[in-house]
């Protein structure tokens, strides 16, 4: 029985997304796409899965974990591909998260000029920001940057 027009094989999906077959199967295992199976057991994806996987790839490139991406896609009814209204809602959510990350990265970048925040005193300049290694009393690691982040 020939595939319906809106269904594509894994090879076609791979060609359109640039993903390896193994990556598509991984995303299937992670619940991000949900192909049907033919009587012979072959996967048949919806053409709309091209957009779903493209979204996954972009969101990952922006640093979002698969769990977050899955939650966004799972919120859609019947596992459908987002429409324009859905994309607007998703992009608004992601924009806020990206804005917070940009602010964190900007603050981190600006602090790197003066101190890496570790309290290690390995640089002569650190003594100015952390006399007598006061940060050591707060515990290991980059205490100044962790404290700044916790204040948000």
Task: Return per-residue pLDDT of the chain as tens, 152 residues.
Answer: 444 668 999 999 999 999 999 999 999 999 999 999 999 999 999 998 998 999 999 999 999 999 999 999 888 877 777 788 888 988 898 999 999 999 988 877 776 665 555 545 454 445 555 666 776 777 776 665 555 545 54
Q: Is residue 41 part of a domain?
A: yes
Q: Is residue 115 part of a domain?
A: no
Residue 38's pLDDT is 92
Q: Is residue 79 part of a domain?
A: yes
Residue 136's pLDDT is 72
Residue 107's pLDDT is 79
Residue 143's pLDDT is 60
Residue 121's pLDDT is 47
Domain that holds residue 77: 7-93
Whichever domain contains 32, its CATH number is: 1.10.1660.10
Structural domains in the chain (count): 1
Parallel/antiparallel/unpaired status of strands 7-8 and 36-37: unpaired
Q: Is residue 104 part of a domain?
A: no
Q: Is residue 126 part of a domain?
A: no
Q: Is residue 130 part of a domain?
A: no
> In which region does residue 20 sit, left (phi positive, over 0), alpha (psi from -120 to 50) or beta (all else)?
beta
Q: How far apart are CA 77 and CA 89, in angstroms?
A: 14
């Amino acid at each position: 029985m020939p595939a319906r027009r809106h269904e594509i094989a894994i090879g076609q999906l791979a060609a359109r997304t640039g993903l390896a077959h193994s990556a598509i199967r991984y995303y299937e295992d992670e619940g991000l796409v949900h192909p049907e199976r033919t009587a012979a057991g072959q996967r048949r994806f919806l053409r709309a899965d091209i957009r779903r996987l493209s979204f996954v790839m972009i969101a990952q490139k922006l640093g979002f974990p698969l769990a977050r991406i899955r939650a966004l896609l799972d919120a859609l009814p019947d596992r459908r591909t987002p429409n324009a209204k859905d994309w607007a809602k998703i992009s608004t959510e992601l924009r806020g998260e990206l804005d917070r990350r940009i602010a964190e990265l900007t603050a981190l970048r600006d602090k790197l000029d003066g101190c890496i925040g570790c309290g290690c005193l390995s640089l002569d300049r650190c003594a100015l920001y952390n006399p007598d290694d006061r940060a050591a009393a707060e515990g290991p690691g980059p205490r100044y940057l962790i404290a700044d982040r916790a204040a948000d």
